[in-house]
Amino acid sequence: MDLEEVKLSSFEGLHSGVGIKWKEYWLFIGGRTNGLHGFRPPLAFPSRSVHDKIVLIDPEKDQRWEQSMTDWADVLREPLSSSNMQYAVKGDQLLISGGYGWQESFDDFTTFPSLCFVSIPKLIEKLKANESAESLFTQVTDKAFAVCGGNMGFLGDTCILAFGHEFIGHYSRHNNGFFSQEYTNEVRRFMFDEKADPQIKLLTPLRDTLNFHRRDYNLVPQMQGEKLYYTAYSGVFQYDVNLPFYHPVELHVDQKVELPEFQQKYAHYHSAVLPVYDKSNSRMHTYFFGGMAEYYIDSSSGQEVHDTLVPFVKTVSRVSRGSNGYSESVLANRMPLFMGSNMWFFPADGIGYYNGKVLNASYIKGRTLVGYLVGGITSPYDNINLVDPSISVANKRVYKVYLSDIPLLTKLKQSAGIELNVHPNPSSGQFFLSLAPGAGKEFLFEVLDLQGRVLKTWTGIGEKTLIWAPGSLKKGTYIARATVNGSVTEKKLIWE
């Protein structure tokens, strides 16, 4: 995997709202235009950062259409302008439930008991024609939809509204009478048939007061043979401590499968995800891009760090499911910044996705563009929630995501007697490479990419300090290799 930044003036930064890809377009509704929420009422969710718009973007043409909802009826505008609502697509219908935001008639923040659905092609048509789209939305009100921080997905005609909570009042780090909060502890279910005049039929929910007590997690579509199901990964918070859950739960139409034997360590909050199914080997891979986690790998020492504050991380991790169960690994490449929380992954055109959701691994030939990372929260530091959350921002950067079936250089060679030091590492400028091969000994020094291609070569005799400036090379991980009398020592170079 590697990332490549794309310059798009049409995307202005957004997170925690609705974001979908439809044909060549990206569609956004609601969400926030600031960074991480604050923890002190009444400043936690400032009104100036409410995204009360619908935005349509054509990324290939870098073109943007938008429509304000400020003059729409409050009963529709308020939930559609909220944060952390749940959404899913069935046929050409976009469904949006719940969300946390300000309700004028209630004179306070609330979680909306609302389910809205709309024809995506008709909505796009209205946006491009600069005509009001308010009349296109159908809205159903029911307490079952009063959820935020959960996720939605379809299994056939059954829509699952999984986990999340109902939050009423001003957000605060400690509840001193500012709010009330109740986790659903449920997978709420309803039938939805988009082919007829859409109708909603509520079904009996699945309930588990222990394993379903989660919010702000990742609900990821998965494949097993021809069967589609979902896996809920991590999420927050445990009952007796402000730490995430570590074991995932598989969700099927009418049952759950607990996976207590596997503990996920490197992705604990809602982030961009990419599911990939290798049908020929019956292996399912799920990539997690940045976000927040209790554990991460220090880039300089290579050692695991445990931080119970659950900081922002740059980790790109992968959870794999095969015949021997689940396993987790950390990729060599990292996110360019502390980013990934509440970010979207949008598939690229021209490659195959099972059910439009899970990438078919057989489409990866060489270095293949598989999608885009869009939006989310960017932070200058790992732990800012105890300092000043306002220094984080809504991410304006867009990144292309490439997967490759070319074998990567991942296991580094180490030989005694060759002293190789790199400083600084990571670096955003240049690297100083100190090599001590032994008095009078000749050396060959190389910098390579992860595919083993040589980018720079030096030769010399004796102790040397070399300077390497990556210049216009894309950000990522490279390899420094020193060869002396046939012995090889290698180290990673992290170019940020």
Q: Return the CATH number at 423.
A: 2.60.40.1930
Instruction: Give the tens place of pLDDT for each residue, 56-89.
Output: 999 999 999 999 999 999 999 999 999 999 999 9
- Domain contains 412: no
Tokens, residue 139: 């809205």
At 122, list the tokens.
Answer: 């008709």
Instruction: For residue 215, tell me if it sits in a domain.
Output: yes
Q: Domain check: are 439 and 364 in the same one? A: no
Across 449-471, average pLDDT = 87
pLDDT of residue 443: 87
390 lies in the same domain as 445: no
Q: Which one of 358, 376, 404 terminates a domain?
A: 404
pLDDT surpasses 70 at 407? no
391 and 426 share a domain? no
Strand, coil or helix: what is 248?
coil
pLDDT higher than 80, residue 43: no
Considering the domain architecture, whether residues 345 and 444 belong to the same structural domain is answered as no
Single residue among 361, 381, 404 that ends a domain in this structure: 404
The least confident of 1-15, 206-220, 468-482 is: 468-482
Residues 349 and 463 in one domain: no
Kindly indicate the confidence band of residue 398, based on its pLDDT and cuts at 50, 70 and 90.
very high
**What's the CA gap between 354 and 458, in Å, rounded?**
47
Amino acid 408: pLDDT: 60
Specify the number of domains making up the chain: 2
> How high is the pLDDT of residue 409?
59
Tokens of 14: 């957004």
**b vs e for 81-115, b when ≥16 Cβ sit within 10 Å of the residue's Cβ?**
bbbbbbbbbbeebbbbbbbbbebeeeeebbbbbbb
Which of 340, 371, 404 is the C-terminal boundary of a domain?
Answer: 404
Residue 173 clears pLDDT 80, i.e. is over it: no
Q: What are phi and psi of 127, to 5 degrees?
A: -65, -45
Please provide the DSSP assignment of 195-207 as one string: SSS--EEEEEEEE
Quick one: pLDDT at residue 196?
A: 65
Higher pLDDT, 451 or 144: 144
At 464 the pLDDT is 85
Tell me the percentage of the chain whose pLDDT exceeds 90: 72
Token pair of 223 as six digits: 């494949």
Q: What pLDDT is attached to residue 126?
A: 98
Q: What CATH number is given to the structural domain containing 328?
A: 2.120.10.80
Query: According to the model, what pLDDT value does residue 471 have?
Result: 87
**pLDDT of res. 230:** 98
Of 313, 331, 332, 316, which is closest to residue 479 (Cα–Cα)?
A: 332
Q: What is the pLDDT of residue 162?
A: 98
Range of the domain at 64: 2-404
Q: Which residues contact 239 (CB under 8 A, 6 or more apart)?
A: 213
347 within some domain: yes
What pLDDT does residue 172 have? 83
Within this chain, do residues 138 and 210 fall inside the same structural domain, yes or no? yes
Shared-domain flag, residues 82 and 9: yes
Q: Residues 106, 79: contact at Cβ < 8 Å? A: no
Q: Is the pLDDT of residue 256 over 70?
A: yes
**Do both 399 and 442 map to the same domain?**
no
The yes-or-no verdict on residue 4 having pLDDT over 70 is yes
Instruction: Say if residues 230 and 220 touch (Cβ distance below 8 Å).
Output: yes
486/484 Cα distance (integer angstroms): 5
Q: How confident is the model at residue 208 (pLDDT cuts 50, 70, 90)?
A: very high
Q: Tell me: do 130 and 261 sit in the same domain.
A: yes
More confident site: 178 or 130: 130
Q: Are both 208 and 171 inside the same structural domain?
A: yes
**Domain membership flag for residue 208:** yes
Q: How confident is the prediction for the chain on average, in pLDDT?
A: 92
Asked whether residue 414 is domain-assigned, the answer is no
Q: φ, ψ for residue 132 (rounded to 5)? A: -60, 135
122-143: average pLDDT? 97
Predicted pLDDT of residue 39: 81
- CA separation for the pair 466, 76 (Å, rounded): 62
Distances in whole angstroms, Cα of residue 68 to Cα of each of 29, 79, 98, 272, 393 = 10, 14, 20, 26, 22
Q: Are 335 and 290 in contact (CB under 8 A)?
A: yes
**Nearest alpha-carbon partner for 114 in 86, 145, 153, 148:** 145
User: Residue 174 pLDDT more than 90?
Assistant: no
pLDDT tens sequence across 316-368: 999 999 988 999 999 878 999 999 999 999 999 988 999 889 999 999 988 89
381 in a structural domain? yes
Tell whether 134 is covered by a domain: yes
The stretch 391-404 carries a mean pLDDT of 95
Number of alpha carbons in the 13 Å side-chain half-sphere of residue 85: 32
Confidence of residue 485 (pLDDT cuts 50, 70, 90): confident
Q: State whether 260 and 113 are in the same domain.
A: yes
Contact 173, 167 (CB under 8 A): no
Do 32 and 125 belong to one domain? yes
- Whether 409 is in a domain gets the answer no
CA distances from 72 to 28, 81, 92, 310, 401 (A): 17, 11, 23, 39, 37
- Return phi, psi of residue 175, to 5°: -85, 100
3-state secondary structure of 392: coil
pLDDT tens-digit readout, 180-200: 999 999 999 999 987 767 678
β-bridge partners, 270: none
Are 371 and 353 within 8 A, CB to CB? Answer: no
Residue among 225, 365, 243 nearest 292 (CA): 243
Q: Quote the pTM value.
A: 0.85
